């Protein structure tokens, strides 16, 4: 048993060093959370791609070599596919360094109440609970299998935040108001219900297109903010509206369609800009980075924009 404890502790310390090397653990409180919360308790098994399908690695495998592979993957700075259904990924454990950047961006303070949309394995909720205490953290997911599994993992790690089965697009009014909302699933737009459950001055951090929007909430119907520089790829929110596929991309150069920043722009403009117009904008503005884009939400509209919410480049978000 002691050898196992030492092995897990050593692997966890190595993960902390790897995440720290990215610059994502400047806050000692988050460093302590990653150092003390054992990720292996939240991913007792996961799936890795192989020709023709997926391979399942798990911590109780009778083959010692496969157990080592499982542990190495658990404590690598990489996302892990944790739940498959009919060949499709429905839940995952995000890349730890991305999780650390998102948590840092929330600018959490003592006493803040946080809502997480997308329970996943429960690992992110455990990190939040370590920082704030169990009573100030709520995580919600539509899938009862996911919430039950997350609750089991959290209990094994000695954490007991509220784990709620419900439609994340509707937030969690029973536990509101919140000072921070963090979504760990991709969205076509930001649900209005979230704003209504926030205190004035709250912050919402959510994946849109292939980026992360950081919104400051003014009141129940108004919020605005910019995208972070980093890219982000998440499993889509279930229960909410589906993001439409970009229309009419025929004729666009392949190298452009494969460009990560242009794919971000395509996803962000899918609700109100033709892909060929998006390409013209992209060239005219010299391939703008994500942080030049933002989102504004008012009582009756929600739109994305480049540089200025009232400027010439603005369009409605998909799903609105």
Which residues are designated catalytic?
A: 91
In the block, which residue shows the tokens 């098994």?
45
β-strands 293-297, 211-219: how paired? unpaired
**What tokens appear for 238 in the block?**
């279930």
Give dist(CA 128, CA 132) in Å, integer. Answer: 6
What region does 99 belong to: left with phi over 0, alpha with psi -120 to 50, or beta?
A: alpha
Angle at 178 between CA 176 and CA 183, to 5 degrees: 105
Give dist(CA 85, CA 111) in Å, integer. Answer: 38
**What tokens appear for 295 in the block?**
């989102």
What Cα–Cα distance (Å) separates residue 306 from each residue in 183, 206, 210, 223, 226? 23, 18, 16, 16, 9
Which residues are paired to 165 by β-bridges? 141
SS (H, E, C) 104-115: HHCCCCCCCCEE
**What tokens appear for 262 in the block?**
């242009």
**What tokens appear for 235 in the block?**
């499993």
Give dist(CA 2, CA 219) in Å, integer. Answer: 52
């Amino acid at each position: 048993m002691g050898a196992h404890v030492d092995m897990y502790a050593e692997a966890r310390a190595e993960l902390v060093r790897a995440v720290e090397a990215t610059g994502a653990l400047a806050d000692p409180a988050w460093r302590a959370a990653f150092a003390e919360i054992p990720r292996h308790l939240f991913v007792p098994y996961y799936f890795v791609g192989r020709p023709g399908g997926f391979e399942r690695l798990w911590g109780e495998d009778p083959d010692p070599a496969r157990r080592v592979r499982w542990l190495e993957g658990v404590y690598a700075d990489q996302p892990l596919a944790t739940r498959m259904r009919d060949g499709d990924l429905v839940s995952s454990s995000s890349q730890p360094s991305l999780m650390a950047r998102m948590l840092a961006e929330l600018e959490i303070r003592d006493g803040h109440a946080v809502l997480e949309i997308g329970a996943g394995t429960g690992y992110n909720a455990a990190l939040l609970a370590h920082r704030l205490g169990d009573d100030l953290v709520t995580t919600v997911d539509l899938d009862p299998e996911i919430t039950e599994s997350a609750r089991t993992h959290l209990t094994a790690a000695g954490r007991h935040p509220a784990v709620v089965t419900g439609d994340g697009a509707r937030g969690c009014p029973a536990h509101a108001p919140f000072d921070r909302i963090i979504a760990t699933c991709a969205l076509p737009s930001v649900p209005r219900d979230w704003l209504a459950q926030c205190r004035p001055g709250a912050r919402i951090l959510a994946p849109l297109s292939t980026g992360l929007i950081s919104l400051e909430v003014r009141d129940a119907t108004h919020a605005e903010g910019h995208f972070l520089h980093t890219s982000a790829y998440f499993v889509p929110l279930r229960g909410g509206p589906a993001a439409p596929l970009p229309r009419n991309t025929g004729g666009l150069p392949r190298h452009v369609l494969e460009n990560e920043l242009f794919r971000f722009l395509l996803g962000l403009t899918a609700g109100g800009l033709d892909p060929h117009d998006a390409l013209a904008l992209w060239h005219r503005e010299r391939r703008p980075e994500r942080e030049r884009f933002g989102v504004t939400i008012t009582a009756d509209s929600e739109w994305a924009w480049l540089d200025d919410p009232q400027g010439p480049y603005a369009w409605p978000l998909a799903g609105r």
